[in-house]
Chain A
């Protein structure tokens, strides 16, 4: 019998608030160690937490975006354990009553769509960082991150492959950045995943799971799950039992390594935090947040497909991030709706490739959407061939010329679409290449392409390719 994997993810999304979840200190990344840690963050005696409403608004936003229930009353609890970068000796989190429960996300792997159910999402504070380098056998503590608001998003064990897990993580990443509650920066740890993985024979009851902690790239997520699945299958096939454990992924060795087993798991002694009142969310607050929600990716995908006749694949690609979608929509607005398909091709093709090559993304495109729209318009009215359009694109990218028309003018790139002029060019080429003409007439199609090439060369690349094709065929036939 074959094996199947059962995977659930827990994702920590750092919320984009100005200040921390329980203090007024700033949350910006990269400050000097301990410069963004106030009395509350370093847990001086006597300090008390005060909940940041902005963090709650982020949680409500998320709940609405995934169709979850927003709890009218949820409870903050203390999760007690000792660690040097956990200043209070407990983390304020939510345990029994989380702010968000249920809902889910649609993911797509190849042609297959799947709905991944969410168990819950709860608010909590991040810990600080222990710094082991540069301290010569000692440990440095940086509490800048302590108290940063997190939303921990937990799925049901709905996924059965690393591909599904990655598709879910990407869809979630896209959603939290789309609705603006997380900056999505995985390198800085703003979005990190823990994967619970178990394997079983198809149809058998659930196996024992191991949790892979702190995966901060989609690549690691994929590799770690793949490794873990295979490792668990091997263990069982060799007659060993899987022990519940927390493991770490080592990207250098490409292996997971156990951190702690179930026996030495912490007893966190959760109890309601007596310093904080229950979090009450009135329907009016939910309505207010709802009104501030942007169009969600699923809805926008459907709209783009129906408005512009885009394929589901194209619509999904264009709505992969809100920045991409915004860019596309701005481009269409400037180029005209009738040119939406061309806009889509350029955004997904030339522009995406260029951004990739230069390690940029749609958040900061050097080429304004109106400039790309200018190119699209000149393609539509036959002023530019695709080849010339790419030249204009390169020029505008390099900052040359104020728009497409200026570049066309300055470089003399206007496409030759005058039949008379093209015919004259063709006649000259046919006269100069009798051998190719003969070969074509003998049935060699390659010869035709060679002749087209000659005509284009004679035109300095500016002749309208379709016209060249048509006229050449007519001449050769005649």
Chain B
């Protein structure tokens, strides 16, 4: 059961082969047993989860056509406000914060009848690529617990990879769904900016943040996205579009598919093992009827510097509300108001968060704004234009998700720039607001998973899921699971 797809779980529930309570219990027991060594969850609450499961079993939603996910458990990245649950965002700042309302995404899954298993560990305020910035300790990669799971949605990736949950929510500001999905051998999708509501998702960089599903397969992701996506009047950047069924094209053959290969994604910087796995996957796609087209993304080299201006700028402002006045950590002793602010924030935030607040404050300062923030916004437009031009000659773009397989704890944490380069292939996608996916495409050094990135044009999710699903029909990378776990 722990390896079943969402469709299989749904069918088992519909045929009464299992119940929501039984499924929740199964996964809660695994969490209890395995989480101490993985640290994927920061909060679990058996009673709350079982109560939700009992409601689902009694609701009539299980097995109903419009609620195919009812009764299936999932877990939320701790960035999503979850009413009645502690919501920490990986920070000491919110270590005692009980969310008083549900994020739109959480609410949608609740209405769909899904059962919340708990809250997942993450880099503090989603700032990190290895989960080492979490106040609650690093998450271990289930494939090798000496290695990082990626970040910032590292808890989500580790939990699904270790089968502690059938699926999880993640968020992606510069690669935070795709990179951990790649490093843990999962399928993860960052939708087009505006497809999934950001209401109740604690903001890191508002113009880049996007929630999305993390699961074992493209098919699972499609089902999850069907529930997650949709216009939300509480989010002004949410897009008002007709609802779509993201699973509608899953089975379509790929004959005639044009895959764009940006030479910028295949240059130096990518490890040989990653290159080999990605090229093998491209060969598989040729067999499925796709043709390869060379495309150019000439400004993609500027994406990391532009990102590290825009994201910290927005973050510096977004994180101002954590001031110790109304909620969150307040220093126990302080001399005056300014002292209360600086002590509360100095104690409540970790190093990486402080670094980004400092960078962001600097680039927005009087006299520097034009040189940094405005310039970065111009680059952002150039990057988006590059993609628009590229999609004139191809349907999707492919390349590596991350330049290397999961690295060891401490390997990059001393050098922020090395860490930032982990997201070199994913960041441009956020800057352009495009949908991006990572799917498992083999194994590299130390038998660690490698991810293939698929980037689509705006609103290309259904097509991308189709492309991923057809590959998963002929490969089994996505159903492999870490050895050494029960």
Binding site for B on A (CB under 8 A): 39, 42-51, 78, 80, 82, 84, 87-90, 141, 267, 269-271, 274-277
Contacts and interface: CB of A to CB of B under 8 A. Distances in A.
B235 interface: yes
Contact of A269 (B94, B321, B327, B361): B361
Max chain B Cβ within 10 angstroms of own Cβ: one of A44, A45, A141, A274: A45
Contact of B236 (A39, A49, A82, A90): A49
B237 A45 contact: no
B364 A80 contact: yes
B320 A88 contact: yes
A87 B327 CA distance: 11
Contacts of A269: 316-317, 361, 364-366, 369
B337 interface: yes
Interface in B255-303: none
Contacts of A270: 364, 369
B378 interface: no
A46 B317 contact: no
B400 interface: no
Interface stretch (B42-50, B193-201, B448-456): B193-201
Contacts of A276: 236-237
B314 A48 contact: no
Nearest to A24: B234
Interface in B11-60: none
A84 B320 CA distance: 11
Contact of B321 (A48, A51, A88): A88
B472 interface: no
Interface in B189-238: 198-203, 205-207, 233-237
B410 interface: no
A43 B321 contact: yes
Interface stretch (B95-103, B176-184, B462-470, B477-485): B95-103
Nearest to B207: A274
Contact of B101 (A44, A51, A87, A89): A44
Contacts of A89: 317, 319-321, 323
B341 interface: yes
B421 to A, nearest CB: 25
Nearest 5 interchain pairs by C-beta: A89-B320, A269-B364, A274-B206, A274-B207, A46-B200
Contacts of B320: 80, 82, 88-90
Given A48-B199, A88-B321, A271-B369, 15 more contacts: A45-B87, A45-B89, A45-B322, A46-B103, A46-B201, A50-B235, A50-B236, A80-B320, A89-B323, A90-B320, A267-B365, A270-B364, A274-B207, A275-B236, A276-B237
8 contacts: A43-B321, A46-B201, A84-B337, A87-B321, A87-B326, A269-B369, A274-B206, A275-B237
B157 interface: no
Contacts of A87: 321, 325-326
A45 B364 contact: no
Contact of A45 (B97, B337, B365, B369): B97
Nearest to A49: B236
Contacts of B87: 45
Contacts of B327: 44
Dominant secondary structure at the B interface:
loop
Interface of B: 80-81, 87, 89, 94, 97, 99-101, 103, 198-203, 205-207, 233-237, 313-314, 316-317, 319-323, 325-327, 337, 341, 361, 364-366, 369, 373
A18 B208 CA distance: 33
A353 B316 CA distance: 57
Given A45-B81, A269-B364, A269-B365, A277 B236 contact: yes
A46 B100 contact: no
B199 A84 contact: no
B317 A271 contact: yes
B104 to A, nearest CB: 9
A277 B101 CA distance: 25
Contacts of B101: 39, 44
Contacts of B81: 44-46
Contacts of A46: 80-81, 103, 198-203
B199 A90 contact: no
Nearest to B233: A50
A88 B314 CA distance: 13
Contacts of B364: 80, 269-271
A82 B80 CA distance: 25
B379 to A, nearest CB: 16
Contacts of A50: 233-236
A217 to B, nearest CB: 29
A50 B197 CA distance: 13
Given A44-B327, A48-B198, A82-B320, A271 B373 contact: yes
Max chain A Cβ within 10 angstroms of own Cβ: one of B99, B200, B319: B200
A276 B238 CA distance: 10
A44 B234 CA distance: 14
B328 to A, nearest CB: 8
Max chain B Cβ within 10 angstroms of own Cβ: one of A44, A88, A141: A44
Contacts of A80: 316-317, 320, 364
Nearest to A50: B236
A49 B238 CA distance: 12
A213 to B, nearest CB: 19
Contacts of B325: 84, 87, 141
B199 to A, nearest CB: 5
A270 B363 CA distance: 11
B321 A39 contact: no
Contacts of B203: 45-46, 275
Given A80-B364, A267-B366, A271-B373, A45 B234 contact: no
A136 to B, nearest CB: 16
B370 to A, nearest CB: 11
Contacts of B313: 271
Contacts of B337: 84
B100 A274 contact: no
A39 B317 contact: no
B75 to A, nearest CB: 18
Max chain B Cβ within 10 angstroms of own Cβ: one of A51, A80, A275: A275
A270 B233 CA distance: 26
A43 B205 CA distance: 16
